[in-house]
């Protein structure tokens, strides 16, 4: 189980390392997107923990 403290640290550090064991051996599935939000299931290959990353639309940039 991922604690609130671990989750906050994971988000603050940009979601690169497993929030449980700290490994960089994490892999995400495809994204699900709906009205400015996106979700991605992620799994750590070292400790086996899994979680869902949550994303929100924060802005746009004009295409070139």
Q: Where are the domains of the chain?
A: 4-56
Which candidate, 23, 29, 19, places its Cα nearest to that of 45?
23
**What pLDDT does residue 3 have?**
96
pLDDT given at position 9: 97
How far, CA to CA in Å, does 25 sit from each of 14, 16, 17, 58?
Answer: 15, 9, 7, 27
pLDDT score at 19: 98
Q: For the whole model, what pTM was predicted?
A: 0.87
pLDDT tens for each residue of 11-26: 999 999 999 999 999 9
Spans in the chain with pLDDT lower than 70: none
């Amino acid at each position: 189980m991922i604690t609130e403290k671990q989750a906050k640290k994971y988000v603050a550090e940009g979601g690169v390392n497993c929030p449980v064991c700290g490994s960089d051996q994490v892999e995400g599935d495809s994204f699900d997107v709906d009205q400015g939000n996106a979700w991605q299931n992620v799994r750590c290959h070292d400790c086996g923990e899994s979680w869902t990353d949550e994303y929100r639309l924060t802005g746009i940039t004009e295409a070139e």
